[in-house]
Structure formats: structure tokens, C-alpha cells
Amino acid sequence: MSAPVVFEYALVRVVPRVERGEQLNAGVLVYCRPAGLVRAVIRLDEARLLALDPRADLSAVRAALAAVAAVCAGGPPAGQAAVDDPGRRFRWLTAPRSTVIQPGPVHCGLTTDPEREPERLLERLVG
């Protein structure tokens, strides 16, 4: 077992009607500086989203969530963010915004397995 390292995470939330403030956890962003890791794991429960807003544009929500994952992954699909380091991409993704896809507050933790942490948090916090 390796020594624990600090990581940061935030939930990715879908807020289909911003004026109502209802939200659905749809993923997790994880950043671990010592491991050089920034990653998003996404799991959208479309039935729950449609229960909140039957008129939600599922294809637009899917595309926006895919864009979050692309920015984390870097490379050409990340667009201009591709040249940014992992920490900068995480900070950009966790900046507050008033759109359908919103980050939750940033939290810290310790892990001995940064590569596994995104899936562990997804299971625990998103379901």
C-alpha cells in the first residue's frame, strides 16, 4: 500500500431549470496534483432528469457532460484547454456558473489510489 495523497473533488450537477434550483448529481471531477490526475466520470440518470423536467434536452445535456470529460482528458477534444495543466483545467471546470451543467463545491480528501478514486466517489455520491 502506498502513502496517502491529497486529492480534490467536486460533483457535476445537472440543473435542468436554473430558476427552480432542482439538481441531479451526474458525475464527479477529481484532481490529484501528486498523481498529475484530473478526471471526470459521468453517470446521467436520464429518467430522474426527465422527472425533474420532462422537457429537458437530453442530447444537449449529454453533449455538455461529454465536454466536461473531454476537458479533463485534455488533447485536441479539450479545445483551448488542451494546453492547460491538470490543475488549471480542474479549476476552470469547478468555477461557479449559472448553466444547466454546474459544479458543486470543491472538497478535499486522502487516497492511496488516485486512479480508482473517481469511480469510488461516483458510486458513493452519484449512485
pTM, 2 dp:
0.91
Query: Each residue of 1-16: pLDDT tens digit?
Result: 589 999 999 999 999 9
- CA–CA separation, 7 vs 107, rounded Å? 8
pLDDT digits (tens, 9 = 90+) for 8-56: 999 999 999 988 889 999 999 999 999 999 999 999 999 999 999 999 9
Of 16, 1, 29, the residue nearest 125 (C-alpha) = 29
